[in-house]
Structure 1
Amino acid sequence: MGLCQGKKMYKVDKIVVKDNKSSENLCVLNENIVTQNENGKSQLLIQQMKSQIASCINYSQIESEINLPIGEGYLEWTYQDGSRYEGFWKKMAPNGQGKLWMANGDIFEGQFVNGLLVQGSHISVNGNTYNGEFVDGLYHGYGQIIEFLGDTYSGQFVKGMKQGKGIMKKSDGTMYDGEWNQNIQRGFGLCVWKDDSRYEGQWEENLMHGQGTYYWKGRKYEGQYYYGQKHGKGKYYWNSNTYYDGEWSNGVQNGEGILVINQQVVQSGIWKAGVFQQKK
């Protein structure tokens, strides 16, 4: 999912760039004629070949003609695979504001530097839209994704993945505001569901995990979670006057604990599978 280096194959009339690992990439060539001897024979140095491959970006392979325009200015250019570019051109590559229609249906528009989009939008053939920053063809920096089903994410990206702080709003009304790691809710975050229940605390693998507090329908649990279940030490409030304080396992009271009603301890001892068993 990172940078894919291309394998160069030379012909007399054109340069064909192929990749050892994938047929779905875009190798943007910056072709510089660096020397020319007295006999008129040219030596070519192909520099800065960068493939742009990410799980969220499906680039098609482009065969680049050797006679790419050398000048600079506004250009309309059609590649051999049917991909088309309109925009500013310099140093034989897109440079400046431009728009690239890929043969597979993806569209890239924004600011290009040496053939690479650094700020702009990507409309994917699957219906997703990204607006934001790019590095080496990957979503990187701050950006926003609007998915075709209506989910949106606004926040940080690293090498094409959600990473750092970000807000996800789902079409079902769920909202998560917190930390991400490689597209996964991991770290500290707040989640609010459609019914207005909410959890604030630690996350792992998109699940409540670690220390946190969960609120719903006037009730509250504050304590430890283990992959989505109350597990460990925790305090559960039915209301401000009634609560259980003790051990939990797989979402229910299990182990030592006390039940307090109106500031009076009414049960103290061992609980099993959510049921009080015996006094301590």
Structure 2
Amino acid sequence: MRTLILILSFVVVIQNCKTASGKCLEGDCKAGSGTQEMKDGSLYVGPFEDGKKDGIGTLTYTNGDKYIGDFEDDMQSGEGTYTYADGDIYIGQYEKGKRNGQGTYKHTNGDVFVGQYKDGLRDGQGTYTYASGDKYVGSYVAGVRSGQGTYMYSTGEKFQGEWKDNSRNGAGKYYNKRGEVLLDGTWSNDEFQEKPAM
């Protein structure tokens, strides 16, 4: 019985080692350059330090996504390019495996975002240009338009003011294509409410 327990314990330890480091297919996956198959089937090619991905490498996922760029302590950290299987592309900064810092995200439908990211989401100042010709320049919080921003329509009209949860909320002005103010006052959930009190 003790022998069986020892064997099972050894198997568990071996499985845990495979889970932690993956399988080295080629080269030096401890402190050099190599090719490693991860536990989820993704494939990493690049440098290692202390058995962890470290330096400029390529990580190809089983779903067709691919990341080429900096790694540190086994995570995406620094500058990198992430190409999604559907054709979307992100080029920019990473920290601890997530988009953090300045970056550019190009959608296959033609939309492009250039700006700040935090924990993988648009956060801070940014410019989102839509394929339709519309453009938003302003603040983002946790992935949505929030704070001060200007939305310019392809028709030439624009809204300038406060946003919350992707909608016009707070004080703002709506201009026609000649630059004349059509609406000036308080907005709630994209709807104009009233003019400010005099």
TM-score if structure 2 supplies the norm length?
0.84
AA aligned to 1:228 is N
Distance change in 2, residues 1:214/1:133 (3 Å):
same
> Does structure 1 residue 25 correspond to structure 2 residue 16?
no
> CA offset at residue 114 of structure 1?
2.7
Q: How many corresponding residue pairs?
A: 189
Q: Secondary structure at the match of 1:26?
A: helix
Task: Return the alpha-carbon distance in structure 1 between the equivalents of residues 127 and 149 of structure 2.
Answer: 10
2:94 equivalent in structure 1: 157
Identity between Structure 1 and Structure 2 (%) = 28
> Does structure 1 residue 254 correspond to structure 2 residue 193?
yes
Which residue of 36, 47, 51 maps to 1:100? Answer: 36
Task: Return the alpha-carbon distance in structure 2 between the equivalents of residues 10 and 124 of structure 1.
Answer: 33
> CA offset at residue 103 of structure 1?
6.1
Distance change in 2, residues 1:226/1:17 (3 Å):
same
Correspondences of 1:38-49 after superposition (within 5 Å): none
Whether the aligned pair in 1 keeps the contact of 2:18 and 2:39 (CA below 8 Å) is no
Correspondences of 1:102-121 after superposition (within 5 Å): 102=38, 104-118=40-54, 119-121=56-58
1:69 equivalent in structure 2: none
Task: Return the alpha-carbon distance in structure 1 between the equivalents of residues 75 and 95 of structure 2.
Answer: 8
Whether the aligned pair in 2 keeps the contact of 1:10 and 1:16 (CA below 8 Å) is no
Task: Return the alpha-carbon distance in structure 1 between the equivalents of residues 145 and 161 of structure 2.
Answer: 11
> CA offset at residue 115 of structure 1?
2.0
> CA offset at residue 24 of structure 1?
8.0
Distance change in 2, residues 1:110/1:237 (3 Å):
same
Aligned-CA RMSD value:
2.7
Correspondences of 1:128-207 after superposition (within 5 Å): 128-207=65-144
Q: Map Cα deviations across residues 3-51 of structure 1 (whole Å, 9 max, x no partner).
A: xxxxxx999x9993565xxx98324xxxxxxxxxxxxxxxxxxxxxxxx
> Does structure 1 residue 16 correspond to structure 2 residue 13?
yes
> CA offset at residue 199 of structure 1?
0.3
Whether the aligned pair in 2 keeps the contact of 1:188 and 1:202 (CA below 8 Å) is yes
Which residue of 168, 173, 179 maps to 1:235? Answer: 173
Task: Return the alpha-carbon distance in structure 2 between the equivalents of residues 120 and 130 of structure 1.
Answer: 8
Give the unaligned 5+ runs of structure 2: 1-5
TM-score if structure 1 supplies the norm length?
0.61
AA aligned to 2:42 is D
Higher strand content, 1 or 2:
1
Whether the aligned pair in 2 keeps the contact of 1:130 and 1:145 (CA below 8 Å) is yes
Distance change in 2, residues 1:126/1:200 (3 Å):
same
AA aligned to 1:245 is D
Task: Return the alpha-carbon distance in structure 1 between the equivalents of residues 159 and 12 of structure 2.
Answer: 65
